[in-house]
Amino acid sequence: MNAAEAHAAAAAEGLALVRAENPTGFKGVSHDQRPAQSRKPFKAQLRHDGCTNHLGTFATAEEAALAVARFLGPEGVAAEQAAVRDSIGRKLPAASQRSAAPMTAAEAYTAAAAEGLALLGADNETGFKGVKRNTSNTSTISFKAQLMRGGRTIYLGIFATAEEAALAVARFLGPEGVVASLAAAASAALEPAPMTAAEAHAAAAAEGLALLCAENSTGFKDVRRSGKSSGSKPFTAELRHGGRKNYLGAFATAEEAALAVARFLGPEGVTAALAPEPAPMTAEEAHAAAAAEGLTLLRAENTTGFKNVSRKTAVEVKLSKPFKAQLNHGGRNHHLGHFATAEQAALAVARFLAPPAAEAAPAAPPAAPLAPAAATQTVTAPTADAAPPDTSGVEVTGEVRRDERERRKRKRAIDVDALELEVKVEVKEEPL
Amino acid identity of 8?
Answer: A
Residue 41 lies in a domain: yes
Domain boundary (328, 357, 386) is at 357
Residues 320 and 353 placed together within one structural domain of the fold: yes
Number of domains observed in the structure of the chain: 5
Residues 314 and 399 placed together within one structural domain of the fold: no
**pLDDT computed for residue 416 by the predictor:** 62
pTM over 0.85: no
d(CA 346, CA 299): 9
The low-confidence residues of the chain, meaning pLDDT below 50, are 88-99, 229-230, 314-318, 358, 360-361, 373-384, 392-395, 427, 432
Residue 366 lies in a domain: no
**pLDDT computed for residue 379 by the predictor:** 44
Render pLDDT for 177-211 as a digit per residue (tens, 0 to 9): 888 888 887 776 666 777 888 889 999 999 999 99
Q: Give the closest residue to 226 by CA, choosing from 247, 240, 204.
A: 247
Residues 115 and 158 placed together within one structural domain of the fold: yes
Residue 364 lies in a domain: no
Contact 143, 158 (CB under 8 A): yes
Residues 7 and 93 placed together within one structural domain of the fold: yes
Residues 55 and 9 placed together within one structural domain of the fold: yes
Residue 19 lies in a domain: yes
Residues 173 and 248 placed together within one structural domain of the fold: no
Domain boundary (97, 120, 155) is at 97
Residues 304 and 228 placed together within one structural domain of the fold: no
Residues 265 and 298 placed together within one structural domain of the fold: no
Residues 93 and 64 placed together within one structural domain of the fold: yes
Residues 49 and 109 placed together within one structural domain of the fold: no
Render pLDDT for 145-162 as a digit per residue (tens, 0 to 9): 988 877 788 888 888 888
Residues 289 and 347 placed together within one structural domain of the fold: yes
Residue 177 lies in a domain: yes
Cα–Cα distance list, 71 to 77, 269, 332 (Å) = 9, 72, 64
Domain boundary (189, 215, 248) is at 189
Residue 163 lies in a domain: yes
Domain that holds residue 18: 3-97
Residue 373 lies in a domain: no
Contact 42, 6 (CB under 8 A): no
**pLDDT computed for residue 209 by the predictor:** 92
Residues 15 and 83 placed together within one structural domain of the fold: yes
Residue 235 lies in a domain: yes
